[in-house]
Amino acid sequence: MSEISMVHDERTSIEGEDFEHLSLETQSMGMWLFLMSEVMFFGAVFAAYIVYRHAYPQVFEEASRHLDLTLGSINTAILLTSSFCMALAVNSAARGLRKQIVFFLLATVLLGIIFLGIKFIEYSKEFSAHLFPGGDFQYPGSDPARAKIFFSLYFTLTGLHAVHMIIGIFLILILARSAWRGHFTAERYAPVDMIGLYWHFVDMVWIFIFPLLYLIGPK
Amino acid sequence: MTDLSNIPRRTYFLVYLALMVLLAATVGATFLPLGPFHLAISVVIAVAKAVLVMLFFMHLRHTRGRTIFLILGGFLLLLILIGLTNIDYFTRVNGLPMVH
């Protein structure tokens, strides 16, 4: 097989081998570049949040009390724990411990699914309380029109975050299968590192979403 | 990049513990009569948590060179995005368009 067609064959692979000639550092820099574009993506929504919270501080404070602080706090703890498991999965990959990579990846996925389950419970409570800013939006407070903005931002931020979680869970499951089949060694584990960075990024977005939506003002 | 296999598991656990303590602190602070300081405290704690995650979980502590420049550049753009947007709205004489 000629040199050129070998290169071509590698690039058609789906498991990341097409970048194998790059160092781990270069691959992780590529991931960071993508993550910084994600920072700008979420940054735009956070900018909108700051504009409206600054304009209607009391409305935001009152509307925030309609969210479930207990479930929100539990979910934050679950997500931090899942990030911890992901960090251990990457560490296991660097040490070349195949079974531990799979174990910690599956623990990360399990915690991610529990997070989404709790988020689903929260959403159904808010939908049945008519707090979703759609056609039958009903708000018991003093300024429904402006509270609607708070709930629009709430569903946008948490919804985009949940979409990122779902993508992350699928990526980690594919990663766990590759790890189980022994595709990673202590020298070559860039995909574990990169998806790890992605998962921690999603955790970091939640670290800001949580206080800005759930923890406004005194209880 | 430094060899990550040398980082002891204990480091990750201590960072995780610190994150949980910060979470408890930020939730606890909402029940205290702190007046206008609520926002400042919750933002400072959130930034502290994010920095811990980036330094230890995303191992920025062991990252050097161009990746760091790339990240700093990204956050500079974020600052411009959020900063200029808000300078515009905060200085409008008539405030935001009315919501009906």
Give pLDDT tens digits for A71-85: 999 999 999 999 999
State whether residue A7 is helix, strand or coil.
helix
Q: Please list every residue in chain B whose beta carbon sits closer than 8 Å to the beta carbon of residue A32.
A: 67, 70-71, 74
Distance from CA of B94 to the nearest CA of A (A): 11
Between chain A and chain B, the number of residue pairs with CB atoms below 8 A apart is: 146
The model carries a pTM of 0.91
Kindly determine whether residue A50 and residue B86, on different chains, have CB atoms separated by under 8 Å. Answer: yes
Are B12 and A91 inside 8 Å of each other by CB? yes
Percent of chain B with pLDDT over 70: 93
pLDDT at A203 over 50: yes
The closest of A179, A164, A177 to A79, measured between CA atoms, is: A164
User: pLDDT at position A3, please?
Assistant: 47
pLDDT exceeds cutoff 80 at B72: yes
Rounded CA Rg of chain A: 21
Output the six-digit token pair for B78.
């974020």
Partner-chain contact A211 B70, CB within 8 Å: no
**How many Cα atoms are found within 13 Å in the side-chain-facing hemisphere of A113?**
10
pLDDT mean over A176-181: 96
Residue A15 pLDDT: 55
pLDDT > 70 fraction of chain A, expressed in percent and rounded: 90
CA distances from A199 to A111, A134, A165, B28 (A): 12, 31, 8, 27
* Residue B29 token pair: 């602070």
A142: pLDDT strictly greater than 90: no
- In chain A, % of residues over pLDDT 90: 80
Mean pLDDT along residues A141-147: 90
Residue A4, pLDDT > 60, answer no
Minimum-distance CB partner of B4 among A44, A84, A94? A94
Torsion angle of the four alpha carbons A209, A211, A215, A216, in this order, in degrees rounded to the nearest 10:
-80
Summarize the confidence of residues A93-107 as an average pLDDT: 97
Chain B: nearest CA to A218, how far in angstroms? 5
The answer to whether residue A136 scores a pLDDT higher than 70 is yes
Chain B positions touching A212 (Cβ under 8 A) are 42, 46
Q: Is B13 helix (H, G, I), strand (E, B) or coil?
A: helix
Whether the pLDDT of residue A87 is over 80: the answer is yes
CA-nearest residue to B86 within chain A is: A51
Cα gap A144→A138, rounded to integer Å: 7
Say yes or no for a CB contact (<8 Å) between A25 and B67.
yes
- pLDDT of A43 above 80: yes
In chain B, count H helices and then E strands.
3, 0
